[in-house]
Amino acid sequence: MVFGPASVTRAGQLARDLGFRRTLVVADPGIREAGHTGRLLDALTAVGIETFPFEGFGINPDSTMVAAGAAFAGPLHVDSIIGLGGGSSLDCAKGINFVLRNGGSIGDYRGYGKAATPLLPMIGIPTTAGTGSEAQSYAVIADAVTHMKMACGDPSAAVRIAILDPDLTLSAPRHVTAMAGYDAIAHAVESAVSSKRTPLSDTFAHQAWRLLSDCFERVLLYPADAEARSAMLLGAHFAGMAIEQSM
């Protein structure tokens, strides 16, 4: 995990160190409009990495969107994936990775460990302090027909590097900041009371709670508060790690 203001500018070097050469970048149109996609693409192209942006998905990505992403990426022969955005971007990126590497449909991977071929290496860059998807080896994807959500997990679905840049959260509208914060707090509480909790998940959950509860109201009142934004982003990540360790 790489954490701190402007850390997204390190994405190019970090990706190159992982051997990225042809990278699918999964980010929704709102992320592009905020300027975040451009900053990431600039960092990647500066070190010679070819980039292929995909934004054909929406909030709560479904199996059709994942299939579209895999169909887009297939002919490009990408060797890596970066998810940039909220939980929808990160989950869609992981979902695409499952289908791109193993074929079929995302529903085939419901559960854990059903990918016969390891997934492509990924970097996760959240732009909201919410789901903590960058800390988890699961993609949550809705079935396009039944609308039921499927948790599809695999050890190789975990990102190689999570880049936590609080500057990227500054552009989030107040209602997005609020809903994402509720999500992160819920994850911390759910993990803390889970029958599957462990000493490790408890450590992450309790630290997440301290960070989130101290700064949630503050970040809503003062959205440009860099310290509060940083605490919320780190807290959401810890909450995601707590969920990962207690599922």
What pLDDT is recorded for position 247?
Answer: 80
In this structure, the answer to whether residues 190 and 162 fall within a common structural domain is no
Domain-ending residue, one of 168, 199, 227: 168
The CATH number that applies at residue 211 is 1.20.1090.10
pTM: 0.96
Mean residue pLDDT across the chain: 97
The domain of 242 spans 173-246
In this structure, the answer to whether residues 113 and 211 fall within a common structural domain is no
pLDDT tens profile 118-142: 999 999 999 999 999 999 999 999 9
SS3 80: strand
Task: Tell me how far CA of residue 52 lies from CA of 20, 88, 140, 163, 224, in angstroms.
Answer: 12, 18, 23, 19, 32
In this prediction, residues 72-93 reach a mean pLDDT of 98
Which pLDDT band holds residue 85 (cuts at 50, 70, 90)?
A: very high
In this structure, the answer to whether residues 184 and 147 fall within a common structural domain is no
Which tokens hold the place of 185? Answer: 């707090």
In this prediction, residues 190-203 reach a mean pLDDT of 96
Q: CB-based contacts of 111: which residues, under 8 Å, 6+ apart?
A: 151, 152, 153
pLDDT tens profile 200-235: 999 999 999 999 999 999 999 999 999 999 999 999
Look at residue 61 and tell me whether its pLDDT is greater than 90.
yes
In this structure, the answer to whether residues 105 and 192 fall within a common structural domain is no
In this prediction, residues 105-109 reach a mean pLDDT of 98
Q: Report how far residue 88's alpha carbon sits from residue 96's, in angstroms, rounded to the nearest whole number.
A: 12
Which pLDDT band holds residue 240 (cuts at 50, 70, 90)?
A: very high
Give the CA angle between residues 204, 15, 165 to the nearest 5°: 45
